[in-house]
């Protein structure tokens, strides 16, 4: 990104913030036009400040909870992460709704696998 000063047909000078991507120029923001040296310098200063602001990574609304979560995740490693078996979750639901009255292990496994991987199979 850079600040461009462009002379207009009226004789004034426009100040713009420009970015170039894939060989094309794009006006990011226009700061206005001026005829006096003092006003042109003021607009250039505003454009430079905006360029500095846009070039820095922005993190808005960071709370103490966000900082605590980031800190907790920063100390995690792969050995700290445990996958939860679908049997633990769907098995409790299966029992709670009364499907455990059907005394067939294969039925239980089929229901839980279908809940875990709800894919549609076709014979194509």
Q: For 63-95, what is each residue's pLDDT tens digit?
A: 888 888 888 888 887 777 766 788 888 888 989
Within this chain, do residues 2 and 63 fall inside the same structural domain, yes or no? yes
Within this chain, do residues 45 and 88 fall inside the same structural domain, yes or no? no
Residue 36 lies in a domain: yes
The residues with which 2 forms a beta bridge, in sequence order, are 18
Within this chain, do residues 57 and 92 fall inside the same structural domain, yes or no? no
16 pLDDT above the threshold of 90 = yes
Q: How confident is the model at residue 120 (pLDDT cuts 50, 70, 90)?
A: low
Within this chain, do residues 55 and 106 fall inside the same structural domain, yes or no? no
- Range(s) of the domain holding residue 105: 83-116
Within this chain, do residues 2 and 31 fall inside the same structural domain, yes or no? yes
Within this chain, do residues 69 and 88 fall inside the same structural domain, yes or no? no
Within this chain, do residues 7 and 62 fall inside the same structural domain, yes or no? yes
Q: How many domains does the chain have?
A: 2
Within this chain, do residues 108 and 66 fall inside the same structural domain, yes or no? no
Q: How confident is the model at residue 106 (pLDDT cuts 50, 70, 90)?
A: very high
121 pLDDT above the threshold of 70 = no
Residue 123 lies in a domain: no
Within this chain, do residues 1 and 44 fall inside the same structural domain, yes or no? yes
- Residues with Cβ within 8 Å of 31's Cβ and at least 6 positions away in sequence, in order, are 15, 16, 17, 43, 46, 47, 50
Within this chain, do residues 23 and 58 fall inside the same structural domain, yes or no? yes
Within this chain, do residues 62 and 42 fall inside the same structural domain, yes or no? yes
Task: Tell me the CA distances in angstroms from 102 to 89, 98, 112, 118, one per residue in order.
Answer: 19, 8, 14, 22
Within this chain, do residues 98 and 42 fall inside the same structural domain, yes or no? no
């Amino acid at each position: 990104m850079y600040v461009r000063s462009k002379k207009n047909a009226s004789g004034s000078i426009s100040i713009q913030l420009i970015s170039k991507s894939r060989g094309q120029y794009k006006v990011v923001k226009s700061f206005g036009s001026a005829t006096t040296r003092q006003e042109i310098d003021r607009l250039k200063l505003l454009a430079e400040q905006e360029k500095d602001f846009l070039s820095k990574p922005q993190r808005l609304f960071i709370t103490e909870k966000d900082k605590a979560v980031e800190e907790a995740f920063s100390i995690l490693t792969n050995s700290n992460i445990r996958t939860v078996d679908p049997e633990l979750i769907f098995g409790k639901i299966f029992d709670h709704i009364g499907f455990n009255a059907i005394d067939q292990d294969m039925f239980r496994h089929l229901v839980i696998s279908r809940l875990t991987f709800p894919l549609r199979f076709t014979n194509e």
